[in-house]
Structure 1
Amino acid sequence: MRRTPCPDGPEDPSSGPPRPGNLPHELNRFVGRAAERSALLRDLETARLVTVTGVGGVGKSRFAAHAAARAPTHLRRDGVWRVELTPVRGGELVEHALAQALGLTDHTTRPPRQVLVDHLAERHLLLVLDGYEHVVDACASLVRDLLRAAPRLRVIAVGRRPLTLAGERLFPLAPLTAQDAAELFADRARGLLPEFGSGADPEVLELCRRLDCLPLAVELAAGRLRALSPAQLLERLDDRFRLLTGGGRDALPRHQTLRTTIGWSHELCTAPERLLWARLSVFSGPFDLEAAEYVCGGDGLRHDEILDVLDALLAQSVVLREEGPGGVRYRLLDTVRAYGAEWLDSLGDTGRMRRRHRDWYLGLATWCELDWFSPRQSEVAARIDAELPNLRAALEFCLSEPGEGHLGRYLAGTLWFYWAGCGRLAEGRHWLDRSVGPDGDPGEDEADPDEYRDARLKALWVLGYVAVLQGDVVAALAALEECREEAECAGNATALAYAVHRTGCLALVTDDLPRAERLLRAALHRYREIGELNSNVLMGQVELAMAVAFQGDLPQAVELCEDVRDICADHGERWTLAYALYVLAFAAWNAGDLPKARELLVESLVIDHEFHDLLGLVLTVELLALVTVAEGDAAEGAVLQGAAGRIWPSVGLPLFGSAQFNGPHEWCAARARASLGDARFDELARAGERLGADEVVARVLARGERQWTTVPAPRPARSTENGPGTREPAASPTANGGETTG
C-alpha cells in the first residue's frame, strides 16, 4: 500500500491508518492551502460529488490529491484512487482508464461500466477524477451512474469546468495568497540554491504578485534561478513579455498571466530546448529517455544531445521527473504540453512526430511480445502497464489516420500477451474489434497487400482468442473461421496454426473433447513444422493436457505438463507455467497426494496474481477449495468456494458452463455441505464472497505460513453408478461433469 505523506505537519488523526489506493508520494513540500483543504473535506462530508475548478496552473490536481489523502477514514475505508484522464483520447476509453486505475480485471463481455458499478456498489471509496475536460460528456455520464449505484462512493472531480450533475458541489480554487506564493517560490528556490533566503524578499513578493500567485507560474519562475536573480526575472517579465498574452484582449487576466509565464519560460529556452519541448508534446503520459531520444532526435536536434537538453528542461520545471517500478520517467504538465503542441503545429511537424511516436511504440510492443517468452515476463508486464497511455495514443492514431489501419491491426494483435496474460481482455476486445471492423482503416484500399493481410490475420486470431476467454462463442467462431479461411488462401502457415489452436481451445471449454484433442494436436504439429515455440505454443500443450485428462488419460496429461514445466524452466516462462501447475495439481489431487497438490496450487496462485490473470486465479482457487475439503477442512473450503463465486462474474460464465470443469466444484460443495450442513456452508460461502482477489491470495499464503497440519482424508470410493444423488469423482478428472462411467 502507498500513502501520501504530509510534509507540512502531522496528519489529522481522524484520517486513521494507511489505506489502499494509488495516490503517488509527494516528492516535495506542499505549501499553503490549509483552510481550503479543511473546507474541501467538510464539503465531502455532505456532498458525494465535489468538483474542484480553476484556471490551468492554479494547482488543482496537487491540491485535490493532497486533500484526498487526508480525508477521514469513513470516507476512504476502501482507499483513495486517482484517475488521470488527460491522456485518454476518446470518451469510450474513460471506463477502461478508471478500471485500470482501480486495478480491476474483467475477462467478460460485460460493458465496462457495469463492471465498475458492480465493483464500487458496496465500497467506501474516494475517487479523484483529474483532467476530464476533453471527455466531459462521457465522464459526467459515468460519474452519474456510479453515484447512483454506489451509495458510499465519494468523487472529487478536478477540471476547468463543472460536470453539471445533480448534487454536484463546486469548489473554485483561487490562486495562492501572496505570502504562500512567495514561500512556495522560496521552497523551490532552495532546492536549486540551498543558500536562498526566505519568501519575505520584496522582489520575490512582487514577482509572485505579477504572476497572479499561480503555483505553476511561480514554480516555473523559480526554475530559472540558476541563471537569473528575482530582480532579473521581474525585469524580463515587465519589459519583454508584457504583451505576450494568449488569446484576445478579452481573455481572463489569469489565463493571460499563465500563458505569459509559460511563453516567458519558452522564450528563455535555447533553440534546442524549445524544439525538444514541442516534440515531447506528442507523448501521452509519462515517457522514458530512450523514447524521447528516438522520437525527438534528428532534424535539428542530435540524438546525443537529447539528454542534456532534457536535463535543462528539468531544471526549468518544464519537464517533471518521477520514479516508479519501471525506473525513471518524465512527463509534461497538461498546460505545458498543450503549449508545446501549439508550437509543434506551428512548425508543421505534428504529423511526422506522431508517426515517429507510433513507430517507437510499435517497436516497443514487438520487442515486448518477443521478450514475453523469457525470464523478463514480469518486467514486460510492468512496462506495458506504464506505457499504456502512449500505446493507446498510437492505436488511436493508426485507427483514425487514413492508410495506417494495418499498423493498428498489427499493434492490437501484437499486444495479445497483455490482453490475455495481464487481465486486459475487455480493452483488448475494444481495440481488436475496431481494428478488424469496417472503420478500422479509413481510406485504406480494400485490396490489401500481403503485409496488410498478415496484420489482419494476426488481429483475427487474437480477437478469436480473446472472445474464447470471454465466453463469446459466436464472435470467437466468426473471427477464427475467417482467419482460417484467409490464412489457407494466403498460404500463411503461422496464422493457420493459431486459428486451428484457438478453435481447439474453444472446443475444450465447450466440452467437445474429442474435437478439442484433434485440433490441439494438429495445431502443435503445425507449430513444430514452422519452428514456432513461445507461450502460445506451450499453452496449447497445456490445453491438450486438459483435453486428454478430461477423457481419463491422466498419465499423458502429466507427461505433457511436465514437459511444459521443463521448457518454462529453460526459458524463464511463468505465465503458462501457472496453468501447467494447475493441471499437475489436479493430477496430484486425483492420486491422493494432497500436500503436493497444495504446493503446486500455491505456486500457481502467486503467478496468476502477479500477472492479474483472473482466469488462472479463479481456476486455482476452485481447485484449492477442493484440496482443502479433501484435507478435512470443509469450512475453509466453503470460504474459498464463496470467494471463487465472487471472482467468476469478472471472468465470464462460471467454470465456462462446462460439465468437465464443473465436476470438481460440485464434488467439493457436496462434501463440504455434508460436513457442515447447508446453513453453515452458505454462511461461510457468503463470507468468502466478501473477499477480494488480494485478500484470497493473502489468506491462502497465510495458511501456508501457519503450516497447518491435517491428516489427508481417505480418497472417496469410486462410484460407477449413474443414479441420482451426490457423486464421487473418478480417478479421471471430471468425466461426465463429475459422474463416472462404468
Structure 2
Amino acid sequence: MTVRRRWSCAKRLYGVNTLQYAACPMRDLGYAATPAHGNLPLEPDPFVGRCEELAGLSRALGAARLVTVTGTGGVGKSRLALRAAARCAPRDGAWRVELAPVRDPEFVDHAVMEALGLTDHTTRPPCETLLRHLAGRRVLLVLDGFEHLVDACASLVAELLRRAPGLQVLAVGRRALSVTGETLFPLAPLGEDEAVALLEVRAAQHAVSAGDGREARALCRRLDGLPLAIELAAGRLGTLSPGQLLERLDDRFRLLTGGCRDALPRHRTLRTAIGWSHELCTPEERLLWARLSVFAGPFDLEAAEYVCGGNGLPAAHVLDVLTALLAQSVLTREETAAGARYRMLDTLRAYGAEWLAATGDAERVGRRHRDWYVGLATWCELDWFSPRQSEIAARVEAELPNLRRALELALTEPEEAYLGQFLAGSLWFYWVGCGRLSEGRHWLERAARLDSGHEQPRLKALWVLGYVAILQGDTTAALAALQECRREAERVANGTALAYAEHRTGCLALVADDMPRAETLLRSALDRYGEIGELNSNVLMNQVELAMARAFQGDLPEAVRLCEDVRRICDDHGERWARTYALYVLAYAAWGEGDPGRARALLTDCLEGAHAFRDLLGAVLALELMALVTATEGEVAEAAVLQGAADRMWPSVGLPLFGSAHYNAPHELCEARARECLGDERYEEYRRKGARLGRDEAVRRALRRSGEPAAASARRGPAQQAAPSAAPTHEPAASPTRKGGETAG
C-alpha cells in the first residue's frame, strides 16, 4: 500500500487532517507500547483519534509537575492519560494508581504503595515510605479515578511534590485537585469525525458494519461524542441497526433527562448512555448488573453465583446472564494469577448500585457478599497449610478490595462485629506471610477494640495483633495484646487461644534476647498444641523459633534436629512458607559449624521462597545471613553490598533485626570483617552501592552470586569456630589474593 493510500485510510478511520500528521505519526494511531519501566497496562484495542489532545497533554507534562485531566465520566480521560504517560515516561517509569476500588481515604497512600510494588511493615506513616522510595528517582504517577477521594489525594500529592523533586503527577478525575502548581487539562467529547472513526473501528472489531455515513454521524451526534456511549452503541450493532439504535436512543434521552435538573448537561448525557444500555438488557441482566455492583473489585464466577443468585435470579442462570453482560461491554474479563476474573467499570457499578438500592435489596446482597468473603478467608486459612500456598497468596491478593469491603461492613455493624474479628484474624497468614503487616494491623486494631460478645473471634484477633506487632518491632503493643489474650483465654478456658498467646509471648521473649524464658514458653506452647491436636504453619513456626532459641544458646545440633523435623513435615504437606524460616535456621547452624557452602545453598532456597511470597521479613533475614556467608568465603566487598541492600529493606519491616543482640550478631561480625579488609571508606562505598538496589534487584543479585561456585574452604577462616553469641567474637579474615573481594560488580 502506498503512503498516500495509507494516509487516506488513516484520515478516513481516525478523522485527522494533514496538519495533524506531524504530531500524530502512524505508529500512534494503533497500539501503544508500554514503557520499559512502570506498570502501565498494554492497550487492548486501537487508540483512535485524540491526536491534538495527546500532543497538548504531552506538552503540558513537559512543562508542569502536576497535570490534571478533567472531564465527564466516559469521555476517555483514562485512555488519553495512559497514552500520554507511555509517551512521556521518565527515567524510572510511569506508574498507574487505580483509585476507583479504594473507598477509605486512609488507603490512598497504601494504593500508591501497592502500585509502586512497595511494602511497609512499620508504624511509620505510609507517606514517609513513599518519600523514601521516590528520593533520587524520576517517576510519573498516574492517579486514575480520584474524584471520590479528592481531599486525601490532594493532601498526599501536595506533600509528595513538595519533598520529592523528581516526581511528576498526572491526575485523572472529574474535578481538579486544587493543589498549588496544578495545570488543568479539560477534555471535551470527541469531534464528529473522530467519533465516527471510533464507531467504525469498534464495529469492525465486532465484525459488524456501522452502517452508512449519514446514520453513523447521526448516532454519534446524539451520543455527544462520548467514547463510552459510542462503544456501547458499537456493541449493539450486531443486534440492532444504527437506525434502530437511534429510535431507542430517542426514548432514553426523553426518559432520563428530566431526572436531575441541576446536573450539568454532560452528566445527564453520560447517564443517558448508561441508562440506555441498561434498558436494552433483559430483566435478569438488569438484576445481575445491579447485584454485581456490590463487588468492590474484580470477582470470579463462583462469587457472582453465590452473592447474586436467588430471589428472582437462580444461581444456575448467573453464568448465562453474566455472559450476556460481557457481550454488551457492561463487564470485562481479565486473566490474573488467580484465574479468570470479571470487572465492572466504576461508572457502570455506580449506576447499578442506584438500581440495587431502589430494589430495596442492597442490605441483603451486601450481607451475602460479606458472608462469601468470610467463607473464602476461612477456606484460605485452612488451605494455607498445603501445597496450594502460592495459589492462596495469589487468590487473596486478587480478592483484597472485596475483603476490605467485607471487613468494613462487618466492623461497622455492632451485632455482627464478631464476623469482622474472625475475618481479620483468619487472614493472619496474608498479613504476616505476604508482606501486609501494616494493613493487617489497621484491621486487627479495629477488630480488637470491639466488644462483639463472642470470645473466640476477639481472642484470635488479639493474638494475631500481638504477632503482627512483634514483627513490626512494637513490643509494647505486642505485650499488651498478648497479655489480654492470655487473661481472657484462661478466664473462659479457651485452650486454643491460650496456646497461641503463649507461643507469641515466647516469640516476643526471643526477639527481646531472653532466651531461657523464650525456650520455656515455646516448649510449653508446643505441648499445648499437641494436646489440642493443632498442626499448621503456626505450630511449625513455633518449633522453628524454639530451634532459634537453642541455636542462640549454642546448641546447634538440637536446633538442626528441630528444623530438619520441620522441613520434613513441610515437605510432606507441601508447606513452603514456614519451611523458609526452617532453612534460615539450618543455614545459621551450617555457617556456625564452618560449612559456608551448605549455608549458601540453604539460604538460596530460603531467599527464593520468602521473595516469592513477598515476605519481606524472611527475605531480609536471609539477605543479612547471606552477607556474612559471602564475607566468610572471602568476598567482603560483595558482602558490604548485600548489607547495604538489607539496610534499605529493614525500614519497611520495622526495627532492624528486632533490636536483638542475638539476631544482630551476624550483621556486626560481617561488618567488622568487611571494614578490616576494605577500610572504612571503601566499606561505606560498597554499602552505599547496595543501598541503591531495589528489593527485586537485590534478591536477584544475591541469588546470582549463589549460582557461582563457593569459595575454597581455605577462605572459611574463623567461621569454623563456634556460632556467634550475643556479641561477635570472631576475628575478621581477609582473602590473601583478592584484596578484600573488590570484584563486587
Partners of 1:239 and 1:271 lie apart in 2 by: 18
Q: Normalised by the size of structure 2, how large is the TM-score?
A: 0.92
**1:461 alignment partner in structure 2:** 463
Partners of 2:44 and 2:112 lie apart in 1 by: 24
Contact 1:125 1:152 in 2 (8 A): yes
Which of 424, 427, 430 matches 2:439?
A: 427
**1:104 alignment partner in structure 2:** 118
The one-letter code sitting in structure 2 at the alignment partner of 1:391 is L
Partners of 1:560 and 1:179 lie apart in 2 by: 74
**1:39 alignment partner in structure 2:** 56
Partners of 2:390 and 2:379 lie apart in 1 by: 14
Which of 650, 655, 658 matches 1:656?
A: 658
Which of 413, 416, 438 matches 1:401?
A: 413
The one-letter code sitting in structure 2 at the alignment partner of 1:161 is R
**1:539 alignment partner in structure 2:** 541
Partners of 2:51 and 2:540 lie apart in 1 by: 57
**2:209 alignment partner in structure 1:** 196
The alignment status of 1:22 with 2:39, answered yes or no, reads yes
Match runs of 1:309-324 below 5 Å: 309-324=321-336
Which of 558, 561, 565 matches 2:560?
A: 558
1:69 match: secondary structure: helix
Deviation sequence 1:693-738 (CA, Å, 0-9, x none): 1011111222244x24522345445xxxxxxxxxx8951x331222
**1:263–1:197 CA distance, 2 compared to 1 (3 A):** closer
The one-letter code sitting in structure 2 at the alignment partner of 1:25 is L
Partners of 2:303 and 2:684 lie apart in 1 by: 54
**2:640 alignment partner in structure 1:** 638
Deviation sequence 1:337-361 (CA, Å, 0-9, x none): 1110000000011111110000111
Shift of 1:45: 1.6
**2:6 alignment partner in structure 1:** none
Deviation sequence 1:650-682 (CA, Å, 0-9, x none): 111211111101111111111111111111111
**1:140 alignment partner in structure 2:** 154
Shift of 1:499: 0.3
Contact 2:252 2:275 in 1 (8 A): no
**1:667 alignment partner in structure 2:** 669
The alignment status of 1:89 with 2:103, answered yes or no, reads yes
Partners of 1:585 and 1:529 lie apart in 2 by: 31
The one-letter code sitting in structure 1 at the alignment partner of 2:105 is G
Contact 2:583 2:602 in 1 (8 A): yes
Partners of 1:355 and 1:586 lie apart in 2 by: 49
**2:347 alignment partner in structure 1:** 335
**1:484–1:588 CA distance, 2 compared to 1 (3 A):** same
1:51 match: secondary structure: strand
The one-letter code sitting in structure 2 at the alignment partner of 1:712 is S
Deviates more, 1:579-588 or 1:112-121: 112-121
**2:427 alignment partner in structure 1:** 415
Partners of 1:229 and 1:469 lie apart in 2 by: 63
The one-letter code sitting in structure 1 at the alignment partner of 2:125 is P
The one-letter code sitting in structure 1 at the alignment partner of 2:489 is A
Partners of 1:738 and 1:561 lie apart in 2 by: 24
Deviation sequence 1:606-660 (CA, Å, 0-9, x none): 1111111111111111111101111111110111111111111111121111110
**1:734 alignment partner in structure 2:** 724
**1:495 alignment partner in structure 2:** 497
Deviation sequence 1:71-94 (CA, Å, 0-9, x none): 14xx2x222211111221211111
**1:345 alignment partner in structure 2:** 357
**1:549–1:280 CA distance, 2 compared to 1 (3 A):** same
The alignment status of 1:63 with 2:75, answered yes or no, reads no
Q: Normalised by the size of structure 1, how large is the TM-score?
A: 0.92
**2:4 alignment partner in structure 1:** none
The alignment status of 1:602 with 2:614, answered yes or no, reads no
Shift of 1:69: 1.7
2:726 match: secondary structure: helix
Percent identity between the two aligned chains: 66
Contact 1:729 1:738 in 2 (8 A): no
Partners of 2:720 and 2:471 lie apart in 1 by: 26
Partners of 2:210 and 2:256 lie apart in 1 by: 30
2:254 match: secondary structure: coil
**1:388–1:241 CA distance, 2 compared to 1 (3 A):** same
Contact 1:8 1:29 in 2 (8 A): no
**2:369 alignment partner in structure 1:** 357
Contact 2:467 2:478 in 1 (8 A): yes
The one-letter code sitting in structure 2 at the alignment partner of 1:60 is K
Contact 2:592 2:724 in 1 (8 A): no
Contact 2:595 2:720 in 1 (8 A): no
2:373 match: secondary structure: helix
Which of 662, 671, 686 matches 2:688?
A: 686
Contact 2:634 2:716 in 1 (8 A): no
Shift of 1:196: 2.3
5+ residue gaps, structure 2: 1-23, 731-745
**2:222 alignment partner in structure 1:** 210
The one-letter code sitting in structure 2 at the alignment partner of 1:67 is A
Shift of 1:125: 1.0
1:243 match: secondary structure: helix
The one-letter code sitting in structure 2 at the alignment partner of 1:635 is A
**1:524–1:172 CA distance, 2 compared to 1 (3 A):** same
The alignment status of 1:305 with 2:307, answered yes or no, reads no
2:88 match: secondary structure: coil
Partners of 1:223 and 1:455 lie apart in 2 by: 48
**1:513 alignment partner in structure 2:** 515
Partners of 1:420 and 1:8 lie apart in 2 by: 50
Shift of 1:20: 2.8
Partners of 2:560 and 2:273 lie apart in 1 by: 68
Match runs of 1:222-371 below 5 Å: 222-239=234-251, 241-245=253-257, 247-371=259-383
The alignment status of 1:373 with 2:385, answered yes or no, reads yes
The one-letter code sitting in structure 2 at the alignment partner of 1:151 is P
The one-letter code sitting in structure 1 at the alignment partner of 2:73 is G
The one-letter code sitting in structure 1 at the alignment partner of 2:431 is W
Partners of 2:25 and 2:153 lie apart in 1 by: 33
1:171 match: secondary structure: strand
Contact 1:660 1:737 in 2 (8 A): yes
The alignment status of 1:149 with 2:163, answered yes or no, reads yes
Contact 1:630 1:713 in 2 (8 A): no
The one-letter code sitting in structure 2 at the alignment partner of 1:390 is N
Partners of 1:408 and 1:421 lie apart in 2 by: 20
Count of residues in correspondence between the two structures: 705
Q: CA RMSD in A?
A: 1.8
Partners of 2:214 and 2:220 lie apart in 1 by: 10
The one-letter code sitting in structure 2 at the alignment partner of 1:196 is S
**2:735 alignment partner in structure 1:** none
Deviation sequence 1:187-208 (CA, Å, 0-9, x none): 222222x25268x621111101
Partners of 1:19 and 1:251 lie apart in 2 by: 42
Which of 565, 580, 583 matches 1:581?
A: 583
Contact 1:660 1:738 in 2 (8 A): no
1:378 match: secondary structure: helix
**2:485 alignment partner in structure 1:** 483
Partners of 2:597 and 2:120 lie apart in 1 by: 31
Shift of 1:34: 2.0
1:738 match: secondary structure: coil
Partners of 2:82 and 2:34 lie apart in 1 by: 17
Partners of 2:144 and 2:720 lie apart in 1 by: 53
The alignment status of 1:165 with 2:179, answered yes or no, reads yes
Partners of 1:11 and 1:601 lie apart in 2 by: 48
2:429 match: secondary structure: helix
Contact 1:545 1:561 in 2 (8 A): yes
Contact 1:8 1:30 in 2 (8 A): no
Contact 2:489 2:497 in 1 (8 A): yes
1:138 match: secondary structure: helix
